[in-house]
Amino acid sequence: EAGVVQSPRYKIIEKKQPVAFWCNPISGHNTLYWYLQNLGQGPELLIRYENEEAVDDSQLPKDRFSAERLKGVDSTLKIQPAELGDSAVYLCASSLSGTGSYEQYFGPGTRLTVT
């Protein structure tokens, strides 16, 4: 079974440029998460989807960040414009809700460097 797929793995951009990350969750997983992980820290939730609906986006900086999961499968996270402080690893995870467990499966992440 394929795991969570993310692309690109690495991205270097100049500040003020836009950037987009893509995630394909494990087949059948209805819940999808985007996390931000700074160096030496644990992941911080940006947004959580249940199917197509964003059920928790309270931590998403909506002035520059946006996300979509149009068909309830893969998802895109966008930053426009990027700032130096956005340099981090962006992780996508998926899980199967309704089981009483939030065991999440993580992708390898996209390492973003903003110069």
Partner 1 sequence: SQELEQSPQSLIVQEGKNLTINCTSSKTLYGLYWYKQKYGEGLIFLMMLQKGGEEKSHEKITAKLDEKKQQSSLHITASQPSHAGIYLCGADIAYAGGTSYGKLTFGQGTILTVHP
Query: Judged by CB under 8 A, which of 42, 53, 70, 85 binds partner 1?
Result: 42
Closest CA to 94 of 76, 73, 112: 73
User: Is 106 an interacting residue with respect to partner 1 (CB under 8 A)?
Assistant: yes
User: Is 1 an interacting residue with respect to partner 1 (CB under 8 A)?
Assistant: no
Binding mask 75-94 for partner 1 (x = CB under 8 A): ----------------x-x-
DSSP assignment string, 48-82? EEETTEEEE-TTS-TTTEEEE-TTSS-EEEEESS-
Query: Which region, judged by CB under 8 A, interacts with partner 1, from 13-21, 60-68, 75-83, 95-103?
Result: 95-103
End-to-end Cα, the chain, rounded Å:
37
- DSSP-based three-state secondary structure for 85: helix
Residues at the contact surface with partner 1, assessed by CB under 8 A:
4, 33, 40-45, 48, 55-56, 91, 93, 97, 101-109, 111
